[in-house]
Chain A
Amino acid sequence: MQIDAPAVAGRSRMIPRLRLFAVVGAALLLGACGLVGVKPWERDLMAKPEMLLDAAPIDSAMDDHVYFSKEAASGGKGFGGGGCGCN
């Protein structure tokens, strides 16, 4: 399998990805404006431990270590939010 480094340093492929993130960002802004989301009493599924974005922190730590050591990219992953929304 031939893998070629891009001839142009990435800029030509950056723009479609920027669009993707713009769309995601817009969707999230909608959320911030209250147009998406759920009522506080509808957080039953979100409250499940397996629905936390980092539900397996040990797995993530082990994997991050492996991929950090064997690849040129690292991290960039998440931080939290979600859950039952209580208190």
Chain B
Amino acid sequence: MSQLRATSRAQRRAGVALALLFASAGACAGPPDALDLGAYAGKVVLLDFWASWCLPCKESFPWMQQVHNRYAQQGLVVIAVDVDHDRKPADQFLAQLQPSFPIVFDPHGNLAERFGVNGMPASFYIDRNGRIRYTHTGFHAQERDAAERELTGLLAEATFSTARKP
């Protein structure tokens, strides 16, 4: 029973700000890997926060792999952000699950903080204009179909001019 809600203004701003922030290189202690969402303008982004110690995250990867396989050609980008403090358990997790979508490492939680992650796992569905449209906290198998419909809905939307403000 994850929380589906239209995002607030603040979150939409965060999405845009993030792209700008990382375009200019992070100033926080311990920079995360670069995450330039601007590079994905025009695409639908499923941004997921996971950790090796989170079992529902293990369950979510096969599903994310599935939607990646199905919709990458239509413009879906799946990015999985790892918040483990150490790389080793994360590498073990990835060796087991072998995702083919990109992984970003955020060992100090800076990205998680900026997106306002309030549970694990957390995923944000970002539309072709860079706005966060859906937020999911937790992963529940019975909600996979509904989540997939949200993604296909976003994929079906056309891109508007990037000059429009959120």
Asked whether any CB of A lies within 8 Å of a CB of B in the complex, the reply is yes
Q: Which residues of A contact B (CB under 8 A)?
A: 39-44, 47-48, 84-87
Bound Cα distance from A39 to B69, whole angstroms:
32
B9 interfacial by beta-carbon distance below 8 Å: no
| Closest residue on chain A to residue B50 by CB atoms | A41
**Total contacts A to B, CB within 8 angstroms?**
49
Q: Are A39 and B57 in contact (CB under 8 A)?
A: no
Q: Are B83 and A87 in contact (CB under 8 A)?
A: no
Q: How far is the CB of A86 from chain B (nearest CB, A)?
A: 5
Q: Are A41 and B53 in contact (CB under 8 A)?
A: no
Q: Are A47 and B112 in contact (CB under 8 A)?
A: no
Residues on A with C-beta less than 8 A from B119 are: 40, 85-87
Nearest 9 CB-CB pairings of A with B: A47-B53, A41-B83, A87-B138, A41-B112, A41-B109, A86-B120, A86-B56, A86-B54, A87-B56
Bound Cα distance from A87 to B122, whole angstroms:
9
Q: Are B53 and A48 in contact (CB under 8 A)?
A: yes
| Closest residue on chain A to residue B119 by CB atoms | A40
Q: A41-B109, A86-B54 are in contact. List 9 more A-B contacts (CB 8 A).
A: A40-B120, A40-B122, A41-B120, A42-B109, A44-B53, A44-B84, A86-B55, A87-B56, A87-B138
Q: Are A44 and B120 in contact (CB under 8 A)?
A: no
| Closest residue on chain A to residue B113 by CB atoms | A39
Q: List 25 A-B contacts (CB under 8 A).
A: A39-B109, A39-B112, A40-B112, A40-B117, A40-B119, A40-B120, A41-B112, A41-B117, A41-B120, A43-B51, A43-B54, A43-B120, A44-B51, A44-B53, A44-B84, A44-B85, A47-B51, A48-B53, A84-B53, A84-B54, A84-B120, A85-B119, A86-B119, A86-B120, A87-B119
* B99-143 Cβ-contact flags toward A at 8 Å (1 or 0): 000000000010011000111111000000000000000111000
Residues on B with C-beta less than 8 A from A40 are: 112, 117-120, 122
Residues on B with C-beta less than 8 A from A87 are: 56, 119, 138-140
Bound Cα distance from A85 to B120, whole angstroms:
7
Q: How far is the CB of A80 from chain B (nearest CB, A)?
A: 16
Residues on B with C-beta less than 8 A from A85 are: 119-120
Residues on A with C-beta less than 8 A from B122 are: 40
Residues on A with C-beta less than 8 A from B138 are: 86-87
Q: How far is the CB of A83 from chain B (nearest CB, A)?
A: 10
